[in-house]
Amino acid sequence: MKTKELVETFLKKEEEAIKSLKKEKGNLIKAISEISKRVNKKGRVIYIGAGTSGRLGILDAVECKPTFSTDLFLGVIAGGKNAVFKSKEGAEDDEKLGVSDMKKLKLKKNDVVIGISASGETPYTVSAIKYANKIGVLTVGIASNPKSTLVKISKYKIAPLIKREIIQGSSRLSSGTVQKIILNMISSISMINAGKVYGDLMIDVQPTNKKLVKRAINIIATVCKISFDEALILFKKSNKNTRTAIVMHYKKCDLNTVKKLLSKPNFNLTSVIT
Mean pLDDT across the chain, nearest whole number? 94
User: What pLDDT score does 94 carry?
Assistant: 87
User: What pLDDT score does 274 carry?
Assistant: 73
Q: 71 and 84 in contact (C-beta within 8 Å)?
A: no
Range of lowest pLDDT (73-87, 215-229, 250-264): 250-264
Is 71's pLDDT higher than 90? yes
Nearest to 78 by CA among 113, 52, 44, 112: 52
Residue 255 burial (10 A CB sphere; 0-12, 13-18, 19+): middle
163-196 pLDDT tens trace: 999 999 899 999 999 999 999 999 999 999 998 9
User: What pLDDT score does 136 carry?
Assistant: 96
How far apart CA 45 and CA 257 sit, in angstroms, is: 32
Average pLDDT of span 221-248: 94
Residue 4 burial (10 A CB sphere; 0-12, 13-18, 19+): exposed
Is 90's pLDDT higher than 90? no
Which residue(s) pair with 142 in the sheet? 116, 158
| DSSP collapsed to 3 states, the chain | CCHHHHHHHHHHHHHHHHHHHHCCHHHHHHHHHHHHHHHCCCCCEEEEECHHHHHHHHHHHHHHHHHHCCCCEEEEECCCCHHHHCCCHHHHHCHHHHHHHHHHCCCCCCCEEEEEECCCCCHHHHHHHHHHHHCCCEEEEEECCCCCHHHHHCCEEECCCCCCCCCCCCCCCHHHHHHHHHHHHHHHHHHHHCCCCECCECCCCCCCCHHHHHHHHHHHHHHHCCCHHHHHHHHHHCCCCHHHHHHHHHHCCCHHHHHHHHCCCCCCHHHHHC
Is 266's pLDDT higher than 80? no
Q: What is the radius of gyration, based on Cα positions, of the chain?
A: 21
7-63 pLDDT tens trace: 999 999 999 999 999 999 999 999 999 999 999 999 999 999 999 999 999 999 999
Cβ within 8 Å of residue 83, ≥6 positions away: 50, 51, 54, 77, 91
210-219 pLDDT tens trace: 999 999 999 9
User: What pLDDT score does 268 carry?
Assistant: 75
Residues of the chain above pLDDT 70, percent: 100
Q: 207 and 242 in contact (C-beta within 8 Å)?
A: yes
Enzyme catalytic residues: 63, 92
Which residue(s) pair with 116 in the sheet? 49, 142
Which residue(s) pair with 48 in the sheet? 76, 115
User: Which conformational region is residue 262 in: left (phi greater than 0), alpha (psi within -120 to 50 degrees), or beta?
Assistant: alpha
